[in-house]
Chain A
Amino acid sequence: MRALGTVWRRHEFALVLLLALTFVVMSRLSPDFLTARNLLTMPRFFVEPGLIALAMALVIITGGIDLSVGSIMALSAVVLGIMWGRLGMPIGLAVAAALLTGAVAGLLNGIIITRLGVPPLMVTLATMASYRGVAVGLSRAQPVSDFPPGFLAIGNSYLRVSPSVEIPAQLFIFVALAVVAGVLLWRTVLGRHLYAIGHNAVAAQYAGIDVEQVKLGVYAASGLVSALAAVIAVSRVATAKADAGLGMELLVITGCVLGGIDIFGGRGTILGAVLGVLIINAVGNGLQLADVGTEMRMVVTGILLIVAVILGQLGRRGRSGEAAE
């Protein structure tokens, strides 16, 4: 009962309303928006940023940030393409190599951040450039296609519920991982440690938490999940190119911040992050259907990010009662 009484005050409730509002506005903008077909296609594009947002939420909750996720996607996609297309490895091995690449790239971020004490912002800004550069260089700017049908199924098959309702396969991967991430953050020891580190890393260390180890793991997870998103994206478009995941960091960070993840760490939920990315995605999809160009969608995303952070700041100030400078 108590839970019911306070549910309307939660940030997630506001997000659900916002999502509903987005749906209303978008269906006004385009008659194609609120069709079963469109609603079932949307998840195909939502899954990739959604997956990365799961890891990004953990990163931001510990007080960090990862700008390199898009570039890790590119690097993993290219490794996948080269292993399969150029070296003729079995597709399973190629996928494994791609995932490993992502995990290693994320781990490298984490090592530089924790061992050398370089701010995550600078590290991932630098690796954002480096990983993308290496991806373009390795691929020699050549796309790889001709993937086997079994692989293409990951991003292009559907579960047919009824003749008009087909659920994209990758949505199941996302839902499974979202539940894992959500439970991890909400109900496990590790989740509690993540919040503690984000609130006050020094206090967390005094409490006996191995802060460096946890952060290292979080950045590695971010890399691994980005690689998984890359595998799904390559399968969906049937091409491995070095421009995979371009601008992904912006989309994901915007979704997380909009979803109520405190940019300074310590606060936020997986449900919020998922709803945030859903809203961003619905806005993008609706604008696209309404024939609004990519460029205006970039503008809208940027504005959403800044407004979300300002609102978050105001909420923070209200919560702690601290005066503005």
Chain B
Amino acid sequence: MTAVLEVCSVSKAFPGVQALREVSLDVCAREIHALVGENGAGKSTLVKILSGLYAPDEGEIRLAGRAISHFDPHAAGRLGVAVVHQHIGLFPSLSGLENLFAGDLPTTHGRVDWRRMRAEAQGLLSELGIAPDLSRPVGELSVAERQQIQIARALRRKSIILILDEPTAALGDRESAALFALLQRLRQQGLAIIYISHRLEEVSRLADRITVLRDGEKVGTLEAAEADRARIVAMMVGKKGTPYSFPANAGGEPPPRGEMSMVSPFFPPLLQVRDLSVNGVVKGVSFDLHAGEILGVAGLAGSGKEELVRCLAGMTRARAGRIGAPEVTPQVPSPATARRLGIAYVPGDRHGQAVVTGMNVRENTTLSVLRDLSTLGFPRRSDEEALTERMVADLDVRAASIEQPLATLSGGNQQKVAVGRRLASRPRALVLEEPTQGVDIAARAGLHQIIRNLANEGVGVLLVSSDLPEVLALSDRVAVMREGRIVATFTGEEATPESVMQAAVAKSGTPYSFPAMASRHDRASRQEMSMVSRFFRLPMREAALAAALAVLAVVLAVRDPAFATPQNLLGVLVNSSHLAICAAGMTAVIIAGGIDVSIGAMLATICMLMGMMLQAGVPTPLACLTALLAGLLMGCLNGALVSRLRVPAIVATLGMRSIWRGVAMKLTNGDWITDLPRSFERLGEGGVLGIPYPVLIAAACLAIAALVLGHTRAGRSAYAVGDDRAAARAAGIRPVRTQFTAFAGLGLLVGIAGIVYATTNPPIQPNAAPTLELITITAVMVGGTNVFGGSGSILGTLLGVLVLGVIANGLTLAKVDDFWAQALQGALILAAVMADIVRRRLRRTGGGAS
């Protein structure tokens, strides 16, 4: 067999950590090569190097015999390396089909060729033997289906090596089996596969060879035939003794356990957790935490231990369960509950949420306890400094001074501050998540000493760490989690690396039937939900709007016969035409994640400019052309400010709004422009087959906008960028250019709207269309476009425009004062946005996908 991929003595170091040390391995075609090891063994660093995110410090990667010189994700993709990550890479609001092809949509004559895409996708999927739902937004699909789409997407690009990182972490039994079947077919087709998993059972069943990593070094590669569980576990945890005792040069002996800890289980519990469940990841966990005890929670990635602690801290909502204490009635976990029970939580560093990097060491250290260090709300500086100095000394934080901004400290030092901060708050129960991740050995010993001292003082400590030696060295009891449950609890001598690791990876008979049942239940509830969410699907939304529009029209027609006359209805259309044109452009801008509040002022300036030219005798076509050009330029200016200079869209366009309104007034010093030439006025009066020009122009603009947004690469890019900017960039779409184009397009449409407005609303005034931006945004929101970008449609926007037009007409017919209409508009925009957000939230929690 020839090696497709060769990793030759690759090393990689990060500040304070040697992540990989001279690791070599090779992967052949028609091979599934499993990579196993504890968390922190170096697997993910290796994957990141292979996928081009990091460059190795030393060593070489050879792909199909050629050494890789340039490390970046695009280059890796082109060379045929496909990576399926757990969390990233898909656009939740786009359909599965579009996700398959994102960044590389096939076109014929500039139009996205959906038919070809479908045919190609069908071919690809049947070749792979999978059938995920391609028509629904990916965000509504199950984890398994999303994964299938990711794999299909990776393979569409003629990959030669496929890397899967923990692919079964969130899958049920049957789904996992389907995945294994797929991987075996892919192997037969000649693909090389790197498979990373903690589940030794599936690894030994699936893989041809298994490479074990530990502490950044390769322990060895086994043929599947010679690999039994015990042997793999032994290789993962290393020889007993050596890596597990504390390095003598750093901390000496492990910190002594307090006397109290020996008897603590007989003390009343400090914290009682009962039947806690979190969205399918934590399944009915119960335990007690006693005063003076350190309870370690061990478990591999995806075991649910992180979700468990986040839930205890009140950061994730629990689906079921209570936490309490003997003197407190059990309560639903929430930040308030955590405060009441005295639970302090130190999040793991990788979330970037443990500390406020923009603040300095002192401010971070005292953030949680500032109230206790203050008099009448004024912090006492001397106490702050004393506390910080003590913390800095205790934890050996390396900072020039306590006023040094945290952003300039190393990751390890930041983590020390994060821990130190929570210690300062004197909690009853301390929940520590990965407290020493990225911390150097000496400081680690210091932290351990402090944790132990706290326990000896009577604090209950819940220690969640992927660092098994740390858990074993510190904990009085070790609870092992697997697949959302506590599967074993070890005390004292029972807690050995082997016993804990066995429990963490084991797939022994009894507990395993439970997850299968649970996952079947999950699937059922998911199916139920998908029916509900199918009810809310996009076309439904437009249908509902159309129905609302019809009801509104009928009510108005019954109340006032003047409404249903052809003249009145045509009048509604004519009056809405400039709004419809602007709304088409605004839809694109909002879908791409922007907003523009300057269009009313832009329109006024364009109208004034055009009016002055017409008065000066410039021919109508030339004046109209100038209007279009002016609009385009204004749009480009907004686009440049927002996309290139990264001025927030609202601020940039708020400024431009003031500028253009000022310019519009300055042009004639506030005078109106009357006496426009006949040739121009005819534009507003004439028509074809009784349909006025403004309506025709608006219809044409909407049709073109719908075509561009729905069926061109540029339009689809707008959806992708608005949905997930990072994923878009990863797929090769340029967010800056896409946003710029959206703003420029809106500008051009405002130019057209300016012509229509000037012809239908003579004379031309500098304060024309004072609330156009607001009405336009309202129409787009009512039409169902997502405020945050990523979804929406021109059809919805058209319906939104018509609803607003009919309401305005109804108010006029009912002789309701104009100013109430404005108040109503504001209320409408809020209602539309709130409905959208609530609907989205319902769907998200219902779909079970976090």
Chain B CB within 10 Å — which of A121, A141, A249, A296 has the most? A121
Contact of A133 (CB < 8 Å), options: B358, B662, B823: B823
Contact of B353 (CB < 8 Å), options: A206, A254, A297: A206
Q: Is the CB of B335 within 8 A of A293?
A: no
Q: A299 with B834: in contact, given A133-B819, A137-B820, A200-B358 (CB under 8 Å)?
A: no
Contacts of A92 in B (CB 8 A): none
- State which residues 352-406 of B face A: CB under 8 Å: 352-359, 363, 367-368, 370-371, 374, 377-379
Tell me the minimal C-beta distance from B252 to chain A in angstroms. 33
Q: Is the CB of A130 within 8 A of B830?
A: yes
B663, CB-defined interface residue at 8 Å: yes
Q: Per-residue CB proximity of B810-834 to A under 8 Å, as 1/0?
A: 0000000101111111110110011
State which of A44-52, A182-190, A215-223 sits at the interface with chain B.
Answer: A182-190
Chain B residue at minimum C-beta to C-beta distance from A249: B654
Chain A residue at minimum C-beta to C-beta distance from B647: A309
Chain A residue at minimum C-beta to C-beta distance from B643: A325
Contacts of B379 in A (CB 8 A): 187-189, 192
Q: Is the CB of A119 within 8 A of B774?
A: no
**Count of chain B residues with a beta carbon within 8 Å of a chain A beta carbon:** 76
Q: Is the CB of A295 within 8 A of B645?
A: no
Q: Is the CB of B335 within 8 A of A205?
A: yes
Contacts of B371 in A (CB 8 A): 189
Tell me the minimal C-beta distance from A237 to chain B in angstroms. 21
Contacts of A313 in B (CB 8 A): 645-647
Q: Is the CB of A65 within 8 A of B353?
A: no
Which DSSP category, helix, strand, loop or mixed, fits chain B's interface?
A: helix
A93, CB-defined interface residue at 8 Å: no
Q: Is the CB of A189 within 8 A of B370?
A: yes
A173, CB-defined interface residue at 8 Å: no
Q: Is the CB of A305 within 8 A of B662?
A: no
CA distance A203 to B661 in the complex (A): 41
Q: Is the CB of A208 within 8 A of B344?
A: yes
State which of B254-262, B452-460, B664-672 sits at the interface with chain A.
Answer: B664-672
Contact of A253 (CB < 8 Å), options: B313, B651, B771: B651
- State which residues 122-174 of A face B: CB under 8 Å: 122-123, 125-134, 136-137, 140-141
Q: Is the CB of A296 within 8 A of B666?
A: yes
Q: A250 with B658: in contact, given A129-B771, A130-B827, A203-B353 (CB under 8 Å)?
A: yes
Q: A299 with B662: in contact, given A123-B830, A127-B826, A253-B651 (CB under 8 Å)?
A: yes
Q: Per-residue CB proximity of A82-118 to B under 8 Å, as 1/0?
A: 0000000000000000000000000000001000111
Chain B CB within 10 Å — which of A67, A199, A205 has the most? A199
Contacts of A192 in B (CB 8 A): 363, 367, 370, 379
Tell me the minimal C-beta distance from A189 to chain B in angstroms. 5
Q: Is the CB of A320 within 8 A of B407?
A: yes
A257, CB-defined interface residue at 8 Å: yes
- State which residues 295-315 of A face B: CB under 8 Å: 295-299, 301-303, 305-306, 309-310, 313
Q: Is the CB of B837 within 8 A of A125?
A: no
Which DSSP category, helix, strand, loop or mixed, fits chain A's interface?
A: helix
B641, CB-defined interface residue at 8 Å: yes
Contacts of A136 in B (CB 8 A): 819, 822
CA distance A202 to B315 in the complex (A): 9
Tell me the minimal C-beta distance from A196 to chain B in angstroms. 5
Q: Is the CB of A187 within 8 A of B378?
A: yes
A33, CB-defined interface residue at 8 Å: no
Contacts of A129 in B (CB 8 A): 771, 774, 822-823, 825-826, 829
CA distance A263 to B98 in the complex (A): 35
CA distance A45 to B416 in the complex (A): 51
Q: A204 with B650: in contact, given A132-B822, A295-B663, A302-B656 (CB under 8 Å)?
A: no
CA distance A189 to B380 in the complex (A): 10
CA distance A130 to B666 in the complex (A): 29
Tally A-B pairs: CB < 8 A.
Answer: 216
Q: Is the CB of A310 within 8 A of B370?
A: no
Q: A293 with B669: in contact, given A208-B344, A267-B358, A306-B641 (CB under 8 Å)?
A: yes
B838, CB-defined interface residue at 8 Å: yes
CA distance A324 to B736 in the complex (A): 11
Contact of B659 (CB < 8 Å), options: A140, A264, A298: A298
Contact of A122 (CB < 8 Å), options: B345, B658, B829: B829
CA distance A205 to B314 in the complex (A): 10
Contacts of A123 in B (CB 8 A): 830, 833
Q: A206 with B357: in contact, given A190-B377, A253-B654 (CB under 8 Å)?
A: no
B847, CB-defined interface residue at 8 Å: no
Q: Is the CB of A133 within 8 A of B357?
A: no
Chain B residue at minimum C-beta to C-beta distance from A116: B834
Contacts of A242 in B (CB 8 A): 819
22 contacts between A and B (CB under 8 A): A119-B787, A122-B829, A122-B830, A126-B830, A129-B774, A129-B822, A129-B826, A130-B826, A189-B378, A190-B377, A196-B363, A203-B353, A205-B315, A206-B345, A206-B353, A208-B368, A208-B425, A295-B662, A302-B657, A305-B651, A306-B656, A310-B641
Interface contacts beyond A123-B833, A129-B825, A250-B654: sample of 13 additional A-B pairs, CB < 8 Å, sorted by A: A116-B838, A126-B833, A127-B830, A133-B819, A133-B825, A189-B374, A193-B370, A199-B358, A206-B313, A294-B662, A299-B662, A305-B651, A320-B407
Q: Residues on A close to B: CB < 8 A?
A: 65, 67, 112, 116-119, 121-123, 125-134, 136-137, 140-141, 187-190, 192-193, 195-196, 199-200, 202-210, 242, 247, 249-250, 253-254, 257, 263-264, 266-267, 293-299, 301-303, 305-306, 309-310, 313, 320, 324-325
Q: Which 10 A-B pairs have the closest CB atoms?
A: A133-B823, A130-B826, A298-B662, A133-B822, A136-B819, A129-B826, A302-B658, A302-B659, A295-B665, A299-B662
Q: Residues on B close to A: CB < 8 A?
A: 313, 315, 335, 339, 344-345, 347, 351-359, 363, 367-368, 370-371, 374, 377-379, 407, 421, 425, 595, 597, 641, 645-648, 650-652, 654-659, 661-666, 669-670, 735-736, 771, 774, 777, 787-788, 817, 819-827, 829-830, 833-834, 837-838, 841
